[in-house]
Amino acid sequence: MHFELLHQDKSSQARAGKLVTDHGEIETPIFMPVGTVGSVKGVHQQEIENEIKAQIILGNTYHLFLRPGTEVLEAAGGLHKFMNYNRPILTDSGGYQVYSMSGSRKITEEGVKFQSHVDGSYHFFTPERAIDIQRSIGADIIMAFDECTPYPCDYQYAKRSMKMTHRWLDRCFTQMNNTEPKYGYEQALFPIVQGSVYTDLRQESAKYIADTDSLGNAIGGLSVGEPAEELYAMTEVVTEILPKEKPRYLMGVGTPVNLLECVALGIDMFDCVMPTRNARHGMLFTSEGVINIKNKKWEKDFTPLDPNGTSSVDHFYTKAYLRHLLKTKESLGMQIASIHNLAFYLALMKEARARIVDGTFTEWKNKMVVKLDQRL
């Protein structure tokens, strides 16, 4: 795997690059649809490639470990073959699930004991086991095991957690060096910057991660409830330190406005459940702003979902029809809304890339964040 930095915006830190993996190339900046259990919720693989035009998707180690389990995944030949998806895949190590299960897990220096949300059984993840499971899943890019701290978070807790995340990272690298990929293609390990919203901790963590000279680097522990200003401030602190010649992945972010602002700060990769989760509840992100399609104002609106949309559903279905489907809880409605939102996110990143290349990114971004933030 390697990364090529192709263009640098002159009035911001925005970049356009190319990430090359054994399962194909990824043009950055890029948004990765979340396929938690080996499926992007509500859409099938042909739509991921043809309608949404995703170049890489994300799977989750915790969920795939519980179901279907590593035995099934290994028998299938890895996640790519299991789900019949031949583009790049990234897996989160499960650190975020550790964060989100605060009532049913125990963190120690050795690892994390947690209770399954599926059947109540207990399991123990160590950094080594997180690597082994991701070897079995077979993603192209795998994440180091970390602790994602909550917000707000006490300074001393954030510091202890960050130090432990760094020690866990060392163990992840050792395990990577002591094992081999299972399916004949390379897997790249990305370390994760932590440190909550404390500038000195973020700087220390970013320097530690930069010194590992990894193929790429991730920023975790943000988009967990902190104000947008804190998200941007911490992202800027970290991108000033992380090496420019390596891809930067901001985990779990965010709204279309968040994405554009963070592209301007030098981020290359994003993922978030927001486009599909919000779609299922009737929130559409469009080229003109945000729509709550369940509102009565759309009941007799027979115009296309988004006349500027890039997917076929944007032009084939009307706002009134999608409102009807979602109000009656028809699964087709959730599918249409999910395809629309994901296609919008991918198209937004494609446009951002084009603007970086032609030198008009900052002017375009400043206009778009105002438009995209308005409620229609």
What are the tens digits of pLDDT across the range 337-355? 999 999 999 999 999 999 9
pLDDT in tens, 134-151: 999 999 999 999 999 999
221 is in an annotated binding site: yes
156 is in an annotated binding site: no
Cα separation of 312 and 331, whole Å? 18
Q: Residue 70, class by beta-carbon neighbours within 10 Å (0-12 exposed, 13-18 middle, 19+ buried)? A: middle
140 is in an annotated binding site: no
pLDDT band at 317; cut points 50, 70, 90 = very high
Measure Cα distances from 311 to 207, 229, 306, 320 in Å. 41, 32, 9, 18
- Type of residue at 149: T
**Out of 22-36, 104-118, 292-306, 310-324, least confident range:** 104-118
Contact 254/270 with Cβ under 8 angstroms? Answer: yes
Give bridge partners of residue 302 from the DSSP assignment: none
pLDDT in tens, 155-172: 999 999 999 999 999 999
State yes or no: pLDDT of 91 exceeds 90: yes
User: What strand order describes the sheet that includes 30-32?
Assistant: 30-32, 269-271, 248-250, 217-219, 192-193
pLDDT at site 92:
94
314 is in an annotated binding site: no
**Cis geometry, peptide bond prior to residue 29 (ω within 30 degrees of 0):** yes
pLDDT band at 103; cut points 50, 70, 90 = confident
- The total number of residues written for the chain in this structure: 376
pLDDT at site 100:
74
pLDDT at site 373:
95
Give bridge partners of residue 16 from the DSSP assignment: 7
pLDDT at site 218:
98
* Domains parsed from the chain with CATH numbers: 2-272 (3.20.20.105)
42 is in an annotated binding site: no
Tell me the catalytic residues: 92, 271
Burial 134-151 (b: 16+ CB within 10 A, else e): bbbbbbbbbbbbbbbbbb
pLDDT at site 299:
98
pLDDT at site 95:
73
39 is in an annotated binding site: no
